[in-house]
Amino acid sequence: MSAPVQILMSKRAAGHFGAGVATAMGERPYRIVLLEDVPADGSPCAIDVALLSRDVTGRSGKFKITEALAHFLDVLARSPNLAWVQTHSAGTDRPTWKPIKARGIRLTTSSGMATTVALSAVGGIIALARRFPDLADAQRRHAWEPLLEERAPRDLAGQTAVIAGLGPIGTEVARLLKAVGLRVVGIRRAAQPHLHCDETAAYGDLAKYLPKTDWLVLACPLTELTRGLVDAAAIASLPKGACIVNVARGEVISEQAMIEALRDGHLGGAWLDVFEYEPLDPASPLWDLPRVMISPHSSGAADGNYARAGAVFLDNLARWREGRPLANEASRLEAS
């Protein structure tokens, strides 16, 4: 009889998903190992599978790791038999994942936030298109300033959105924008046809589409191919009044070049969920620039995320037990 599969998760996750683990594992023996019960003594661990849930990550960010997450990562580092890690997040580009990738351990993400992130991105587009920031500013000033004549917003239908990244998030953004009547160009590793795009192109061909772009939506993973994808020259090639929406990573675009283009009026606005450095410095000009909307890396926040991330893990756990391909494997998503 094979040894029980050792599955690492937090006490909270075990309370939510323990019954589902039993179903997913079928007749294969397993043991749930609570993160809180693993001593931080440097001794070897026998973990085979690990679930990183939101309660463990807490308020960790790019440059700050909570004690719980540090302990989780330490346990993984002490587990020589570790085969697969499931994370609640949509991205795996942070430095914390480099040791896992270097060891060849399988890493899967949770696409459960894709719809929420896409709704936030499209909400940002609609807000900017309908001049909500201008209306909010007028409200603060108690000023009655109707959007008439030269202030009338352009119709969204017929405008062009270029979406960099056609993973789960970019795909949903494309679907929603098509429903509103925009022309959608999808940018990905290879120019393969896409159900919700009028046209697709490779990342290397992005520049030729920028001069006719009304909305540049960044929804790609951070890889060596996408780091610095949108530089000062790319921003300058956008038509005057174009807007940027970033739900990817701050490092995908030159933040300083974007700030300068917003200041001089070349860009018409921006909806930003991610930044080069997080949390965003209180002294950053982005806080006070007109028609710039700041989201503190919260585009995916929703009260149903914990359950959705758990459902992705349980589905993948059954796949892993049966030897089937895992959903949302990081290496495949980075190719989107």
- Positions marked catalytic: 249, 278, 297
CA-to-CA distance for 166 and 111, rounded, in angstroms?
A: 13
Query: Both tokens of residue 155?
Result: 């119709």
Query: How many of the other CB atoms lie within 10 Å of CB of 209?
Result: 16
CA-to-CA distance for 218 and 17, rounded, in angstroms?
A: 33
- Measured in Å, how far apart are the chain's first and last C-alpha atoms? 40
Distances (CA, A) of 40 to 71, 81, 215: 7, 18, 49
Query: How many of the other CB atoms lie within 10 Å of CB of 130?
Result: 13
